């Protein structure tokens, strides 16, 4: 069942795990410590229900939305994810797939492909940046992204450098050298298709991060760049205000779960905020993002665009998020499973699955457009929502 069309994100994951060496597959799932937040991100969607209608349904549905000035054909965009060693084409395949399906993508600073190439593959690219290094270095990275044509900025803040996992952490080498090859050889032997893909592309994953440099510099390895990030003091709100002042286009602050943080993001001039717990890789025990979304959305109103990132596995999840206050959702793991399963076509397949699910949910709810969705379309159990950091 390798390659070919699949009908769900769950099947994309199964196919990806038949292709990827176990360490690579485990790195995609990750999740901090006990994985409480990782599990809750997906389980919480299952706790929500729909309130369907049976008549006067629209014959066609409009799935389009506008996010950070970009018109998207559906309320789903690709979240920035670093080190996409699941496929040689990495972010270029994801960018082309997103462009083919009429949506945008975020490119991670820790991505494997240069921002210039990714923007060329999809002009609707948002560049993601971490607070890493000096202000001068950060400004240089912003200028490179601006020169490349990135149409927006994503500032990711939801990460607390938790490295302990109850089930153990996957092996990620600093580089693919002889020692790494020896250690990974038994895994790769069980998943030869992954190795064949890379050999046909001209070599093994380089594990470098070209977007952490400026033109003319050699790209550092992932762990060297990660070390710079870890050793940089966390930003203050004044730092974020400065960062916002250096970018004259749309700017998203990603990692919000608290009402007070959402309001501060508005104060520093954010165009959008993403309710996110870094896919469960941040502080374990943080509530699922769909639980935090309603209070955050109510608190900021129309003063900023609100997106949700975390746990989206089907179109119905996206509809639930939009009905509860999000403008759109962002997907990370789902896109990477599609990429691992079948390259660019696999990412397109994932987006098609989500589009079909969104359209089906709209039909069931009797809504002609995602813009018509409202909380009354969703059955929310008592005690479901989490209002953190203040009252809405």
**Is residue 392 domain-resident?**
no
Count structural domains, the chain.
Answer: 1
- Beta strands 378-379 and 49-50, pairing class: antiparallel
- Domain hosting 311: range is 21-162+173-375
**Is residue 180 domain-resident?**
yes
Residue 389 in 3-state DSSP?
coil
Choosing from 141, 258, 278, 291, the catalytic residue is: 278
Q: What is the 3-state secondary structure of 205-221?
A: CCCECHHHCCCCCCCCE
The span from the CA of 169 to the CA of 40, in Å, is 20
The span from the CA of 388 to the CA of 367, in Å, is 31
Question: Tell me, what CATH number does 243's domain have?
Answer: 3.20.20.70
**Is residue 148 domain-resident?**
yes
pTM for this entry? 0.94
The span from the CA of 188 to the CA of 158, in Å, is 32
- Distance of alpha carbon 58 from the chain centroid: 31
Angle at 108 between CA 203 and CA 171, to 5 degrees: 55
**Is residue 386 domain-resident?**
no
Annotated active-site residue 278? The verdict is yes
**Is residue 207 domain-resident?**
yes
The strand pairing partners of 274, in sequence order, are 254, 307
**Is residue 8 domain-resident?**
no
The strand pairing partners of 70, in sequence order, are 67
Q: Is the pLDDT of residue 392 over 50?
A: no
The chain-wide mean pLDDT, for the chain, equals 93
Q: pLDDT at position 141, please?
A: 95
Share of the chain above pLDDT 70, in %: 96
Q: pLDDT at position 132, please?
A: 94
User: Tens of pLDDT along 298-329?
Assistant: 999 999 999 999 999 999 999 999 999 999 99
Task: Give the pLDDT band (50/70/90) at residue 94.
Answer: very high
Q: pLDDT at position 23, please?
A: 84
Q: Is the pLDDT of residue 98 over 80?
A: yes
User: Tens of pLDDT along 208-254?
Assistant: 899 998 878 888 888 888 888 889 999 999 999 999 999 999 999 99
- Short-list 349, 343, 285, 353, CA closest to 317: 353
**Is residue 380 domain-resident?**
no
**Is residue 381 domain-resident?**
no
Q: Is the pLDDT of residue 386 over 80?
A: yes
The pLDDT of 354-371, averaged and rounded, is: 98
């Amino acid at each position: 069942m390798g390659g070919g069309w699949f009908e769900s994100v769950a099947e994309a994951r199964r196919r990806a795990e038949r292709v990827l060496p176990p360490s690579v597959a485990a790195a995609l799932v990750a999740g901090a410590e006990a994985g409480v937040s990782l599990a809750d991100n997906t389980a919480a969607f299952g706790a929500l229900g729909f309130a369907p209608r049976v008549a006067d349904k629209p014959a066609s549905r409009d799935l389009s939305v506008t996010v950070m000035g970009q018109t998207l054909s559906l309320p789903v965009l690709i979240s920035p994810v670093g080190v996409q060693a699941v496929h040689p084409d990495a972010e270029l395949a994801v960018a082309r797939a997103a462009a083919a399906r009429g949506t945008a993508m975020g490119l991670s600073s820790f991505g494997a492909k240069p921002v210039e190439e990714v923007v060329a593959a999809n002009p609707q690219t948002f560049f993601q940046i971490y607070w890493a290094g000096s202000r001068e270095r950060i400004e240089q990275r912003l200028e490179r992204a601006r020169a490349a044509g990135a149409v927006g900025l994503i500032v990711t803040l939801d990460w607390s450098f938790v490295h302990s996992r109850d089930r153990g952490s996957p092996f990620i080498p600093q580089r693919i050298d002889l020692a790494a090859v020896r250690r990974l050889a038994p895994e790769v032997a069980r998943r030869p298709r992954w190795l064949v893909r890379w050999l046909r592309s001209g070599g093994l994953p380089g594990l470098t991060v070209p977007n952490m440099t400026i033109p003319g510099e050699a790209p550092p390895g992932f762990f060297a760049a990660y070390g710079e990030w870890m050793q940089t003091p966390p930003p203050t709100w004044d730092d974020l205000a400065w960062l916002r002042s250096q970018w004259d286009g749309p700017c998203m602050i990603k990692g919000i779960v608290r009402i007070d943080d959402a309001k501060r993001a508005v104060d520093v001039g954010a165009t959008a905020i993403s309710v996110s717990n870094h896919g469960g890789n941040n502080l374990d025990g943080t509530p699922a993002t769909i639980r935090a979304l309603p209070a955050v959305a109510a608190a900021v109103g129309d003063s900023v665009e609100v997106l949700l990132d975390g746990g989206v596995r089907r179109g119905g999840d996206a509809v639930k998020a939009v009905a509860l206050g999000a403008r759109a959702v962002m997907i990370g793991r789902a896109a990477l499973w599609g990429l691992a399963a079948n390259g660019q076509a696999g990412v397109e397949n994932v987006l098609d699955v989500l589009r079909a699910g969104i359209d089906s949910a709209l039909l069931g709810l009797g809504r002609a457009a995602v813009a018509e969705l409202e909380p009354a379309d969703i059955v929310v159990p008592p005690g479901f929502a989490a209002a953190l950091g203040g009252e809405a």
